[in-house]
Amino acid sequence: MIVDLPDTTVSKISRALIDVREEGGAVALGRVLTLIIVSHQGVDEEAIEAANDASREHPMRVIVLMEKDPDSDPRLDAQIRVGGDAGASEVVLLHAYGAAGSNSESLVTGLLLPDAPVVAWWPADTPPVPSQSAIGRIAQRRITDAGTQTDPHAWVRALGSHYSPGDTDLAWTRLTRWREQLAAVLDQPPYEQVTAAEVLGASDSPSTPLLAAWLSLQLKIDVSWRYLDAVEWEHGIKSVRLVRAGGDILLERPSAAIAVLTQSGQPSHELAFPRRSLRECLAEELRRLDPDVLYGRVVTDGCDLIEPATSEE
């Protein structure tokens, strides 16, 4: 069900939500959090679909705040989506024009679920310091995405300088499979010390230095990393090599969906390693509503321990 509310107010939207639930039998009692998606230009439907899919695991209210044309006459248009158009969530789209968008906190405060955590997500248009933005101040978790920034690599380099507990970035979330697989390998014999490591990734991959920083922090070793050009590798992480006295460990993608694990004295193993979808990454971040302490250490301490193998990016 979709209900359009042109030229409306927050109080009218709140009443309409109650009416929609009563009319359609939608239940709000199981909602566990409020997700605020923030954009200045408009949100791609892909972000809303990702939130809808993630809501099947985390029932929630989704507020999509879009600030449009600051020079136009003040007006607030809204749309409510429930049922099949919203997964297991309630979706409220707010189109704020002119001065109506000048106080984003007041627009969403009256629509938050009572006594439920608030998560803010900037799919693209991200404030320089998310925790100090109007929406960021009311959120327990703040999700950004280096991959959608104008300069992804500069954004990653700056993560530590403005980190606040509760921050996270999807460039980190996309590394979960890599971190799990590498940790599993090192938990198996032979238990030799890793003396060095190298991480290779595509030029569009802001996750590459984050993986190198994590390895350096966890293993207390020197880690080099390097970007590959599009001819060598097109998207994401290409490979990780761990150097040990008895032979290297190499986890490498020969193609986008497959990784091969190679170790000295053992047969190679082919692993399913597809790139993670936006829905998977968002759902993972919504599983924890406390600060990700490890992420905080990686962006504040780990990134200072590594240097790119080349100055070219």
- pLDDT value at position 310? 53
Pure H helices in the chain: 10-24, 45-54, 104-109, 152-158, 170-173, 176-186, 207-219, 278-286, 293-300
E-assigned strands of the chain?
A: 2-5, 33-39, 60-68, 75-81, 90-97, 118-121, 141-144, 167-169, 194-202, 222-228, 237-244, 249-255, 258-263, 269-272, 307-308
Q: What are phi and psi of 159, to 5 degrees?
A: -55, -40
Both tokens of 66, joined, read: 């879009």
Both tokens of 184, joined, read: 């599993």
- pLDDT value at position 313? 40
What does the alpha-carbon distance between residue 26 and residue 82 come to, in Å, rounded to a whole number? 7
- pLDDT value at position 311? 40
Q: Please count the residues of the chain.
A: 313
Which pLDDT tens digits describe the chain residue by residue (313 residues)? 889 999 999 999 999 998 887 776 555 556 889 999 998 766 678 899 999 999 888 889 999 999 887 778 999 999 999 877 666 688 999 999 988 878 899 999 999 999 999 999 999 889 999 999 999 999 999 999 999 999 998 999 999 999 999 999 999 999 999 999 999 999 998 899 999 999 999 998 999 999 999 999 999 999 999 999 999 999 999 999 999 999 999 999 999 899 999 998 899 999 999 989 999 999 999 998 999 999 999 999 998 877 776 544 4
- pLDDT value at position 71? 77
Which residue from 227, 220, 28 is spatially nearest to 116, judged by alpha carbons?
28
Give, in order, the Cα–Cα distances in Å from 98 to each of 63, 69, 86.
19, 6, 28
What does the alpha-carbon distance between residue 89 and residue 26 come to, in Å, rounded to a whole number? 10
Which residue from 63, 285, 290 is spatially nearest to 166, judged by alpha carbons?
290
Each domain of the chain, given as residue ranges in start order, spans 2-144, 176-277
224 alpha carbon, distance to own chain's centre? 25
Q: Which residues pair with 227 in a beta bridge?
A: 201
- pLDDT value at position 125? 85
- pLDDT value at position 70? 76
What does the alpha-carbon distance between residue 95 and residue 42 come to, in Å, rounded to a whole number? 8
